[in-house]
């Protein structure tokens, strides 16, 4: 909610600046608002893209202080014994 209010306030401020820069021409409120909205939303989209690119570029890189997760190692004996286990099959049932 706070971020949305900040976006609204930023658009309103920029729309007013556009109004002043146009010589305070009345009747163009909607155009000023839409232009300000496009500028602000473009900035936000650019920030999101930059964060996404930063996140993607840091994937796979080892961060300082971070360790790789340990994987569990199975013993050779366990894997051998499981491969030697025979599967029992039940004889076919007799129809009565």
Residue 3 DSSP SS3: helix
Residue-wise pLDDT tens digits, 68-81 = 555 555 545 544 44
Q: What is the pTM of this model?
A: 0.54
The reported pLDDT for the residue numbered 73 is 54
Backbone dihedral region for residue 27 (phi beyond 0: left; psi -120 to 50: alpha; all else: beta): left
| DSSP tag of 17 | H
17 Cβ partners below 8 Å, 6+ apart?
A: 36
Residue-wise pLDDT tens digits, 12-49 = 999 999 999 999 999 999 999 999 999 999 999 999 99
Question: What does the alpha-carbon distance between residue 80 and residue 66 come to, in Å, rounded to a whole number?
Answer: 35
């Amino acid at each position: 909610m706070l971020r949305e209010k900040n976006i609204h306030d930023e658009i309103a401020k920029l729309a007013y600046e556009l109004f002043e820069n146009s010589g305070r021409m009345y009747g163009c409120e909607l155009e000023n608002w839409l232009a300000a909205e496009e500028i602000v939303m473009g900035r936000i989209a650019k920030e999101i893209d930059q964060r996404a690119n930063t996140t993607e570029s840091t994937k796979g890189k080892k961060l300082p202080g971070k360790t790789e997760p340990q994987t569990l190692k199975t013993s050779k004996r366990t894997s051998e014994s499981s491969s030697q286990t025979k599967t029992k099959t039940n004889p076919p049932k007799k129809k009565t």
